[in-house]
Amino acid sequence: MTSKASKLHAAGDAPGRDAAPFRLVYVPDIDETAPRQGEAYVLGEVRFGSSRTPARRPDPDYPLVCVPIAQLWASPIKEYWLSPTPVDRRRQAGIQISANDHVLFGHTQFTLPATGAELEREIRQRYDAILELLGAQGYDHLMRMWNYLPRISDDIDGMECYRRFCRARYDAFETFHEELIPNLPATSVLGTSGVDFQIVFLAGRSSPRHYENPRQVSAYHYPRKYGPKSPLFARATLVRWNREDSLFISGTASIVGHESQHLGNARAQAEEILRNIESLVNHVAASANLATRGLREITHLRVYLRDAKDLETVRRVVQGYLGTTIPAIYLHAGICRRELLVEMEAFLGVEKLT
C-alpha cells in the first residue's frame, strides 16, 4: 500500500469520496506526455478524427477509444479520464474496462451489421453485456454513456438507424431494470463517418442522481412520432463527492418541449441549446443545493456540428455565452434528428464551498 493510501484510511474518510475519483482533462493532440506526468493513471483516452488505432501502442490493454468524427478547430484536442489511484484494466465479454475503486470506464464496439434486425440484435447484446458486467463487478450505477453510430440518420431496412438504436436500448434497459427512469444516465448519441458502432460509458459504485430539463419533455416521454420506442436517457447526471460534485450534461439540442426549433438556422439553434443547458444547470443547482454559478462554471464542452461551414457562427455564440477561454472540442458529427444542425454536451467539476 502506498503512503498516500494509508493516509486516506488513517484519516477515517471513505476513500475517494473526498475529491472526485476521476478527472477529465483536455490535452493538445500533439502532446504525448501530459497525462503520464505526476500521479495520474489513465482510465480512458478518447481521440477524435480517425478510427485507426495507432500502430505503436505501449500496452494492448490501454483504454484508447478512437472515434471517427473529425475535429473542426485548428488545434485538435484529446480527452483523458484520469484516476488519482492505480487502475485495473481488463477485457471481458467483448468490453474493454478500466477501473479504480470507485468508477469504471468501459468501451465496446462492433462493425455495423448488414441488416436492421441484426443491428438491433447486436446493440441489444452489447447493452445486455454492459449491464450484466457492471452488476457483476459492483459498479451498478451508470453515470454517463456515449454512443457513436455509423449512418445515424440513414434508413436501414426501412427504419432509421437511430430509431433502431432506441428500440434495442429500450429493450435492454427494460429487461434489466425493474424501474427504468431512476436508472437512466446522461447520454449522447452522435453519428460518425466510420463503420463501427461504439459505446463508451462511465459507471460508479455509488448512486448518482439524474435530472430532467424544465424546458424539455423528458425523452422517455416523447410522443410516438419520434420512433417506436422512446430514447432512454436523463438530461443530466450528478455525482457527489465530499469536496466536489461532478455534473454530466447530456447531448443537448435545439429542442423545446419535444419539438425541434429554428430549422435551418445554426446560430439560433446554438443559442437555444445554451438556454437549455443554462436552465438545466440552474435546475440541478437549485434541487441539489449546488455551489455553481451556472453556465460559466462549465469546465469542458463538446460542440457537434452537422455542417462544417457553421463553425465560426456557432463558435461566436459559444464564446459570447461562455467566454473565450472555455475549453471546447468542435466536432463534425451526425445528429439524431435530421433537421438539427448543432448539439452540445458539457461536464462541470464543481468544487464545494467549505
* Interaction site with ligand 3EB (CB under 6 A): 166, 187-189, 219, 231, 233, 250-251, 253, 255, 336
Which helix (DSSP H) or strand (DSSP E) does residue 332 occupy?
strand 328-332
CA 162 to chain centre: 17
Question: Which residue, 309 or 338, is less far from ligand 3EB as judged by CB?
Answer: 338
All 3 cell numbers of residue 283?
435546475
Measure Cα distances from 246 to 164, 291, 346 in Å. 31, 12, 11
- Please give the Cα distance from 16 to 13 (Å, whole number): 8
The count of residues in the chain is 354
All 3 cell numbers of residue 97?
474496462
Question: Which residue, 188 or 269, is less far from ligand 3EB as judged by CB?
Answer: 188
Please state the closest distance from residue 207 (CB atom) to ligand 3EB, in A: 20
Please state the closest distance from residue 304 (CB atom) to ligand 3EB, in A: 10
Q: Which residue's C-alpha cell is 443547482?
A: 285
Question: Which residue, 194 or 227, is less far from ligand 3EB as judged by CB?
Answer: 227
Please state the closest distance from residue 191 (CB atom) to ligand 3EB, in A: 11
Question: Which residue, 95 or 189, is less far from ligand 3EB as judged by CB?
Answer: 189
Question: Which residue, 99 or 310, is less far from ligand 3EB as judged by CB?
Answer: 310
Please state the closest distance from residue 186 (CB atom) to ligand 3EB, in A: 8
- 312 is an active site residue: no
Exposed e or buried b per residue across 305-339, where buried means at least 16 C-beta atoms within 10 angstroms of its C-beta: bbeeebbebbbebbeebbeeebebbbbbbbbbbee
Residue 224 contacts by C-beta under 8 Å, 6 or more apart in sequence?
Answer: none
Please state the closest distance from residue 34 (CB atom) to ligand 3EB, in A: 29
Give the other-Cβ count within 10 Å of 1's Cβ: 7
> Which of the following is catalytic: 79, 160, 343, 345?
343
| Active-site residue list | 343
